[in-house]
Every structure is written in structure tokens, then in C-alpha cells.
Copies of this chain bind each other. A is one copy, B any other.
Amino acid sequence: MPNTFGKLFTISTWGESHGAAVGVVIDGCPPGLPLSEADIQGDLDRRRPGQSSIVTPRKEKDQVEILSGVFEGKTTGAPISMLVRNSDARPGAYDEMREKLRPSHADYTYLTKFGIRDHRGGGRSSARETVGRVAAGAVAKKLLSQKKIEIRAYVSRIQDIALPPGTPKGFPTEAEVEASPVRCPDPATADKMVARIEDVRSKGDSVGGIVTCRIRGVPAGLGEPVFDRLEADLAKAMLSLPATKGFEIGSGFSGTLLLGSEHNDAFVPKAGGVGTATNRSGGVQGGISNGEEIVFAVAFKPTATIMLPQATVDTAGAATELTGRGRHDPCVLPRAVPIVEAMAALVILDHWMRNAAQTRTFSS
């Protein structure tokens, strides 16, 4: 089931960029959760196009409709089907892409694999598919909030413009992240990032960077010792997002420069349990959460679509040239923030439920 994610709280997304609609079906949702469209629209608004001057101008309200699984304002345990109509589709804008393969896009690989391709705005390979993930993630977040688990992603680097070391201080609030359209919680850095994106856009080019995600309130015990390590499932979740090229947890790649004596997180007694003096583990040890903050980072490449002429081939394999058209993000990171949060929420919630099934039901 290549379009399904999760084991117990599972989501199945469907839809193409310029088809009738995009949507998601959640299966396995616990019953009794108060839920309405309003709970979901907020994150969809953070993801939607046209929200600011540094993202694509495509105009979509991305208004969600809940079609099933909710009765008199509460979830019933039945599948929750949610749908968002595509209203500003302009398939004609993509006529040139019917024949020409966009470099570093999915055009060539999708066509080769399936022998057929909806060329309009990437079809199924479009980031528009993430509407369903964000809608489902909003439900997951609401459930996790019952357990006092909070997830916060933000842009920590655009090209070479990075958050200064030691910032943000503490766990940033959503307001701090949302204060800038680039979703970087340090105002001065955010301004530089916005300027960079505007500059790059004005040249018809694009730019990438890094999203950091932090999760607090996760108790020790979520995850598995072997294949379904919490970091493995987070890595899969993040690398399943369009434009991602890398994932690291805790000390990540730079941690490989340290000696073991420098890298280990000493255990220390803590009110109500055990803590660690440092957090190079990023909140996960041996695949299982240790109660510290979970911290990971995701690398997003510069948007593949640029407004500059590029060498490419057509569907017959002959050399040609292509200049990007249509409406595109010069930088995907601002809109990626709620998507990263959604995927993180889905992973944590799924492991919560898995853990409950195996370790809290039978006693010795």
C-alpha cells in the first residue's frame, strides 16, 4: 500500500495536483475525540499556497470537508474521510510539460515506471498530495495534546543563512514561529531569510535549507528496538516528503566528529525518574524514546522548478530546452514546516498506540 502510512493510526492519501480534489482517509482513530473542520483548517492554512509573498501565488482556500467518521461532533472509531477540492487548477499552464521532462522532478521516473503520466503540475507527485497528510496530522496532534505532547518545527537554515548557535532559547512558541512568513523563530534571521528568498525569486532561481523539529512531552518507552526504531520511522516519514535529501537526529552528522567520551549522554537522577545531562541522542536511545526532547533536522533541496532555461529531453528522449512556467515556490521550506509537524505527529501517535497494545494490556 504505497499510499498508506502508519500501522495502527493509518492514513491513506489520494489525489492529483490538478484533478478534482485531494484527500485522505484516516483508519484506526480512537473514538470519542471532539473533532470538526475547524480543528484541521488551521494547519491547512499554514500549508496552503498564496499565504504570503514568498510562496507560490496559486490561489487555493484548501477548505476541508469531513465526510465520515464523526457523529455529533465526536469521532466514532470509523474511518475519517476528508476532502479538499482543487479550485485554482490551471492545467493549460502545463501543456509544455506534456512533452518535456522537467529536470530533477518526478516526470521521467513516473513515466518510466507507470507508462503514463498526469503531467499537470506533477500530478500525483505534486506536493499538493501533502494536503491529506496535514489534515490527518491535525487530528493526530489533537490526540497527542491530550497526552501533553507538543510538536514544533521551524526553519533553521535557508541556504547559508542559519539560526545563530543557541537560538531559539528554549522551546519556541507557535506564535514565535508564525511571526515571520519564513517560519524561523529568530526575527533577525528570519528577515535575512525572507530577503534571500525574495532575491532568489526575482532572479527566477530557487533555494533550499533545513527544517528543525522538536517534540516535547514524549514519555520514555515509545519506539522499538529493531526495525521500527522511532528515529527510523521518523526518517522514513521525513524522506517521504517531496524535495527532502537528508535526515539527522540529535547530534547527527556532526556528532561523528566527537569521541565516545564526548558524545555520550550521562544519565542523571531527575524528579520522577531519570534524565540525561546532555541530549546528543536527540531523545531516542536504542530506537526508543528516553523522555528527553526529541530533536531532528530535515534537509530540503532547492525547488526543482526554476524560471531559467534548462537543458533537458522530451518524452522521446531528444534534447531540448525548458523554462519553468506555472506558479511555484521559490523555496519550499516555509510551507514544509506544518508538513514536517504533521508527519512527526503521525509517527509519535502510531507508536503510542503500538506501545499501548503490547506493553500495557497484559501484566506479568
Contacts and interface: CB of A to CB of B under 8 A. Distances in A.
Contact of A361 (B30, B125, B244): B30
Interface in A87-130: 101, 103-110, 112-118, 123-125, 129
A8 B358 contact: yes
A101 B274 contact: yes
Contact of A20 (B68, B75, B129, B237): B68
Nearest to A119: B71
A308 interface: yes
Interface stretch (A50-58, A168-176, A181-189, A224-232): A224-232
Contacts of A303: 260
Which of under 10, 10 to 19, 20 to 34, or 35 or more describes the interface residues of A? 35 or more
A76 B220 contact: no
A206 B114 contact: no
Contacts of A237: 232
Contacts of A8: 354, 357-358
A42 interface: no
A2 B267 CA distance: 27
A15 interface: yes
Contacts of A355: 113
Given A205-B259, A286-B106, A299-B256, A27 B3 contact: yes
Contacts of A38: none
A309 to B, nearest CB: 10
Contact of A239 (B235, B244, B319): B235
Contact of A256 (B266, B300, B313): B300
23 contacts: A2-B226, A3-B25, A5-B227, A14-B78, A14-B79, A15-B67, A22-B68, A23-B68, A78-B124, A108-B267, A116-B364, A207-B260, A227-B240, A232-B235, A233-B236, A235-B238, A245-B251, A245-B253, A258-B301, A261-B306, A261-B310, A270-B317, A354-B357
A245 B199 CA distance: 34
Contacts of A228: 2, 240
B266 A311 contact: yes
A179 to B, nearest CB: 23
Interface string A36-63: 0000000000000000000000000000
Contact of A205 (B260, B285, B362): B260
A19 B360 contact: no
Contact of A13 (B226, B273, B288, B304): B226
B106 A225 contact: yes
